[in-house]
Amino acid sequence: MEPHNEQAAGEVLHQRGWRKAFTVQEMVDKWAWLVGKVEDGYSHLVDEYTNNLYSRNWLHEAWPILTEREIVLWTPQIKALDDRFRAATVFDDGIALSQFARQAPPTDPRQHDARESAEP
């Protein structure tokens, strides 16, 4: 697949079932919001939490279809947010959440290291 810019990647993911053609900026902002909430002690219900994780899942799905320039531009910020999320949570490979939601294999940022792969 040919790499896409942010807008085109958003359109591709929208065609794959995402509710709209999001941009990387939108999803990085949503991911930053969630990371901040988790650091402060997330107080919403588990259903809201699993729903709020969609921003990171979208970024994971967008990565293989973005241009190298976009990847280089966004990786440091996403990596920093992922590191903050890891520091504020305990990794359990999705076990705790699995009782509340049937999910595809987790795209928990702990399983992805931007230094080891091109996919945050």
Using pLDDT thresholds of 50, 70 and 90, give the confidence band for residue 91.
confident
CA trace torsion 97, 44, 39, 92 (10° rounding): -10
Question: pLDDT tens digit string along 45-74?
Answer: 888 888 889 999 999 999 999 999 999 999
pLDDT of residue 45: 84
Q: Which residues have CB under 8 Å from 45's CB, separation 6+?
A: none
Could you give the CA distance from residue 48 to residue 46 in angstroms, rounded to a whole number?
Answer: 5
* Residue 115 backbone dihedrals phi, psi, to 5 degrees: -75, -25
Average confidence score pLDDT of the chain: 83
pTM confidence score: 0.77
Task: Locate 114 and state its tokens.
Answer: 């931007």
